[in-house]
Homo-oligomer: A and B are copies of this chain.
Amino acid sequence: MTNEHLSNSTIFPLGKKVESNFIGDAYLEMIFTDETPLNTSIGNVTFAPGARNNWHSHAVGQVLLVTGGEGWFQEEGKPAQLLKTGDVVNIPPNVKHWHGATVDSWFVHLAMTPGQTKWLEPVNDEWYNAL
């Protein structure tokens, strides 16, 4: 879509461009990093159209809250799921997956990640463009 679309979907700060483990333009702002009372930090992740993170897994899992736009979530061996504003995803521990924008929409989600993340290979253009 357009930057207007992004503007409409931006609630929390855009933050800084992510420099590794992503393809395309993606941005991260950590909006909660206190040690208490949650067992997790909270990051606001914004993907430009076509941007996506590499395949990865989380040692403890991750919860995504979609706050704007449309994107993809895919676990290895399963079809990609289209995510829209208001969707909530509970990603199990140690499941290889990726998430990112659709080819023509910005995509914004909050990410709550209680444990460590293991980064793997990129979601290459051949894979992504076949969605």
Contacts and interface: CB of A to CB of B under 8 A. Distances in A.
A72 B13 CA distance: 21
> How many copies of this protein are present in the complex?
2
Nearest to A42: B65
Interface string A90-130: 10010000000000000000101011000000000000000
Interface in A52-83: 58, 60-63, 65, 67-68
A86 B11 contact: yes
Contacts of A93: 37
Interface residues of A, number: 29
Contacts of A85: 11
Nearest to A112: B38
9 contacts: A11-B68, A12-B65, A13-B86, A31-B88, A37-B58, A37-B62, A37-B90, A38-B38, A38-B114
Interface of A: 11-13, 31-32, 34, 36-40, 42, 58, 60-63, 65, 67-68, 85-86, 88, 90, 93, 110, 112, 114-115
Given A11-B67, A11-B85, A13-B86, 14 more contacts: A11-B11, A12-B88, A37-B58, A37-B60, A37-B62, A37-B90, A37-B93, A37-B115, A38-B39, A38-B114, A39-B39, A39-B114, A42-B63, A42-B65
